[in-house]
A = this chain, B = another copy of it.
Amino acid sequence: MSSADIAWMLFASALVMLMSPGLALFYGGMVRAKNVLSVFMQVFMCMALGSILWVVVGYSIAFGDSMAGGLFGDPTQHFLLRDLDGIDETVTVIFQMMFAIITPALIIGAFAERMKFSAFLLFTGAWSILVYPVVAHWVWGGGIIDDWFGSLDFAGGTVIHVNAGIAGLVTAVVLGKRTGWPKTAMLPHNLSMTAFGAGLLWFGWFGFNAGSAGAVNMQAVNAFLVTHIAAATASLFWVVAEWVKDGHPTTLGAASGAVAGLVGITPAAGYVGVNGALVIGVLAGVLCYLAVGLKSRFEYDDSLDVVGVHFVGGLLGALLTGFLATQGLSGEEAGFALFGKQLGGVVVTTVYSVLMTFVILFIADALLKGIRSSEEDEVRGLDLGDHKESGYVFTEMGG
């Protein structure tokens, strides 16, 4: 890497790191006031615990030499980051660490407002070792998905969004609905927090996608541009879709739409041009909006719409990459052949993620005698229940 490349990658890494606090705002604003801190706490723990686990074994599992026929990287190879190959690999460790933090953090939205903090920690710790780096190895570390299909996944549509999104669905189903849902409205308590969080995610996503080029080059510039266009387009089209269907355009729609567009463009950012970005933006905006409506139909309580936005958006982006990738950028010809490769990657990831998420939840449930908060904690809120804190104290009469 040249100096400019390194500066660029450090910049990109910092931006991706900022997505975690941005996510805390985005999610935190959507829960009820009594649970806002539990969300912030969980995101912080993804940053804290997730980083440590990455340093200890995660990086090795994801990017160490393939073992067991490409199932995972050698977990001890870079134990505590030993034997890194100079400045270039150190930069890679940093950049990829931020991805390893945010991926489990995305799942939080699905089980928000009802998981015990201890269960959360155990779940996130295990998932950060057994799921994320394994799938990352399969796609980016020379593992089985790359080997079998050669799927394109520029910045993690499959590794991150499909993976986290479907894990979210499993956690939501296993934990069950929040008490009162869907009869009682569980409205966002602070939508300007959520909207600002979406803005910060958008900002950070430049690092996420354009940084995935690994250098300052045309691919990075292109990724930057199409990332922005997809976010803008999806935000507008989500709002238009809900205006038509529900009768009013909402701030939450604008924010969710932007995120949906960002998710959708993630696997494609290095491979599609402006037109591709517009197509992905329109579809991500409209389809993710519709997908979010499915949860009341099928009665799974995905609290903050991880499935509708991340699974559906990631899936959409991964599959559309099959048709929209331009040869000049991706070196692959778009069409059913590429679509097949994309589908392969998505299916394998989904199956593994569902399976492992179930297994981890099952074990956590056994170890902790339940992973769901007591009803009392749920009623008074996890902030008091788990953390003995209150999100807002506007008067001096106390909690």
Contact = CB atoms under 8 A, between A and B. Distances in A.
User: A interface, how many residues as a size bin?
Assistant: 35 or more
Q: A-side binding surface: helix, strand, loop or mixed?
A: helix
A77 to B, nearest CB: 15
Contact of A44 (B221, B228, B255): B255
Nearest to A180: B396
A241 interface: no
Contacts of A6: 4, 216, 220-221
Contacts of A198: 44
A53 to B, nearest CB: 10
29 contacts: A3-B4, A3-B8, A4-B7, A6-B216, A7-B11, A13-B206, A14-B203, A37-B251, A40-B195, A40-B196, A40-B251, A41-B250, A47-B232, A47-B258, A48-B233, A51-B229, A52-B229, A80-B278, A94-B225, A185-B398, A187-B390, A189-B393, A189-B394, A191-B390, A248-B387, A248-B388, A249-B386, A250-B388, A250-B389
Given A2-B4, A10-B216, A33-B394, 5 more contacts: A40-B192, A41-B250, A47-B258, A90-B222, A94-B221
Interface of A: 2-8, 10-11, 13-15, 17-18, 20-21, 24-25, 28, 32-33, 36-37, 40-41, 44-45, 47-52, 55, 80-81, 86-87, 90-91, 93-94, 97, 117, 185, 187-193, 195-196, 198-200, 202-203, 206-207, 210, 216-218, 220-222, 224-225, 228-229, 231-233, 235-236, 239, 248-252, 254-255, 257-258, 274-275, 278, 383, 386-396, 398-399
